[in-house]
Amino acid sequence: MNAPRNTQYRHLEAHRIAGSAGAIIEGIDLSQELSDEVLNEVRAALLDNCVIFFRDQKITPAQQLAFARRWGDIHLHPFMEGMPDYPEILEIVKLPTDKKNFGGSWHTDQMFSPAPAMGTILYALEVPSAGGDTMFTNQYLAYESLSEAMRKMLDGLKVVCVGDNFKQHGGKSRKDRYSDVMSQMKVRDPGNVQTTSVHPLVRTHPETGRKSLFVGGHVQHFDGMTDEESQPLLDFLMKHSIRPEFTCRFRWETGSLAFWDNRCVQHFAVNDYPAETRIMHRITIQGDVPY
């Protein structure tokens, strides 16, 4: 079953961009403080569509932060340095000379934290002439489209998620991986912050009550199983969870802002703009312990 699509809003319009997820929201100026009533409608739109997009927003870092704080505390990235004046904002920069991009694999944000990010608010300051889109995939649909027997088997499993994700990157830490190919991304030492966590593979969304698959690039193996035992099922789930019919793809413009719900989507930043620059400001909002 797809997400509900016929919610009546009084203060905004939502236009779906794909059958399974994603809507462009019209009628909202994020530079202004939103009333509780309007914010509740934005929340409803987010829950209905899993990811929402706003065009032509002119906001300062302080205004982006003020909007983000309406949703909860800010989740600081344990491995990535924020902006000097706004440590809560991660500036994501890819220069023409950078070979890789930040977020260029399917994942959900900070899944390795004990309480991963509930949502992410990403604002575009400079975008390439073509390319640099972000893709999203609806993890409610990924779960609901599995057979009953498969769902039953998955319901009891737990995933071990690792922030430095050394398995998929030939043993290299983030610092080693990023320095040559993502020159502007500043990696920091997480210190005592917990960056390995065990979560249910099937999580229940605390607001909608729907179950979704909780997988992504940070998953190393199933709790209590070896890598060898885990890998075939993980491979299947990763492939299944990104089936084209679960996805949408957003074409950025300067001033676009995306707000996605990490509790029910994975996302992927497409790296298809060599020799161009892309600059984004990202804020993640603290989430709950998944159950």
Amino acid letter at 39? L
Question: Do 26 and 56 contact (CB within 8 A), yes or no?
Answer: no
49 or 120: whose CB is closer to ligand SIN?
Answer: 120
Find the catalytic residue in 109, 177, 221, 263: 109
Considering only residues 14, 46, 59, 92, which one is a binding residue for ligand SIN as defined by CB under 6 A?
92
Euclidean distance between CA atoms 134 and 59, whole angstroms: 20
Question: Do 217 and 106 contact (CB within 8 A), yes or no?
Answer: yes
Considering only residues 102, 106, 123, 273, which one is a binding residue for ligand SIN as defined by CB under 6 A?
102
50 or 269: whose CB is closer to ligand SIN?
Answer: 269
Find the catalytic residue in 75, 221, 267, 281: 267
Annotation marks residue 282 as catalytic: yes
Annotation marks residue 107 as catalytic: yes
Task: Quote the least distance from Cβ 146 to ligand SIN, whole Å.
Answer: 25
Residue nearest ligand SIN by beta-carbon distance: 103
Euclidean distance between CA atoms 61 and 257, whole angstroms: 12
Euclidean distance between CA atoms 27 and 33, whole angstroms: 14
Which stretch in 101-109, 158-166, 179-187, 236-244 sits in contact with ligand SIN by CB under 6 A? 101-109
Euclidean distance between CA atoms 186 and 270, whole angstroms: 20
Question: Do 17 and 26 contact (CB within 8 A), yes or no?
Answer: no
Binding to ligand SIN (CB under 6 A) within 131-190 occurs at: 134
Helices of type H across the chain: 36-49, 61-69, 139-144, 148-155, 174-181, 227-241
**Count, residues near ligand SIN per rule CB under 6 A:** 11
**Closest of 77, 46, 13, 35 to residue 259, by C-alpha:** 46
41 or 164: whose CB is closer to ligand SIN?
Answer: 164
120 or 220: whose CB is closer to ligand SIN?
Answer: 120
Find the catalytic residue in 75, 107, 218, 278: 107
**Closest of 165, 173, 190 to residue 79, by C-alpha:** 190
Q: Judged by CB under 6 A, does residue 282 bind ligand SIN?
A: yes
Q: Which H or E element spans position 203?
A: strand 202-204
122 or 187: whose CB is closer to ligand SIN?
Answer: 122
The DSSP output letter for 80 is: B
Place of tokens 């906001």: 59
48 or 109: whose CB is closer to ligand SIN?
Answer: 109
Binding to ligand SIN (CB under 6 A) within 262-281 occurs at: 267, 269, 280
The set of residues, in sequence order, having a beta carbon less than 8 Å from that of 251 and lying 6+ positions away, is 133
Annotation marks residue 281 as catalytic: no
Task: Quote the least distance from Cβ 219 to ligand SIN, whole Å.
Answer: 16
Annotation marks residue 267 as catalytic: yes
Residues designated catalytic: 107, 109, 267, 282
Contact footprint for ligand SIN (CB under 6 A): 92, 102-103, 109, 120, 122, 134, 267, 269, 280, 282
